[in-house]
Amino acid sequence: MTPHRFFALAELAPWLVLLLYWAWMWRRAKPMAEAHPDPWSNFNRLLIVASMLLLGWHRLDIGWLGIVVIPRCLAKALTGLAVTSAGIAYAIWARYVLADNWSAQPTLKVGHELVTSGPYRFTRHPIYTGILIAIVGTAIMVGEVRGFIGLAIVFWGLWHKSRFEEDLMNRQFPEQYRAYSQKVRSLIPGVF
């Protein structure tokens, strides 16, 4: 196996771990009490699929999408793999702490709790933060313009989705969530 092929497979491993964990934890969720109507949800899903194609399909390295931003080398591959793995670990930690309050779409669960512990002390949407960190690592491994376009698309989609979640939390926990929002940033600790 060539080193390039090894790292192409290695960049998939953390994402497969995340996928398997999500599938396993999917069964542990409270029943839904209220869903937020998100007219953009299908568009967001389409954007996520498009960005995953940009990040993962190596045949898209054509034209300006294939312009190399970070040249191939062992250090780049190892750095990207470490950053991806750290982001996946952070997202899994956040999903674990959120427990049965989690939902794929912006919803309130029966007996919904406001979670502010664990990674929720650093960002209000740490699952998204972890996924963004992981995508930064994957973009580093890809090293081409297409990887960073994929990152920008995912960032916009997750930020947009987080607005709907914020709306639900503000309605469900008006005083608590307002105080929490003033202390803890949305996606990037101390910044945004």
Q: Is the pLDDT of residue 4 over 80?
A: no
Q: How confident is the model at residue 119 (pLDDT cuts 50, 70, 90)?
A: very high
Top-confidence range, 10-19, 58-67, 131-140, 154-163:
131-140
pLDDT for res 5: 67
**pLDDT on residue 7:** 67
CA distances from 106 to 35, 60, 179 (A): 6, 32, 21
pLDDT tens track for 103-112: 888 888 899 9
Using the predicted structure, report yes or no on whether residue 38 has a pLDDT greater than 70.
Answer: no
How much is the pLDDT for 191? Answer: 85
Distance CA 147, CA 76 (A): 14
CATH class as words, domain 3-183: mainly alpha
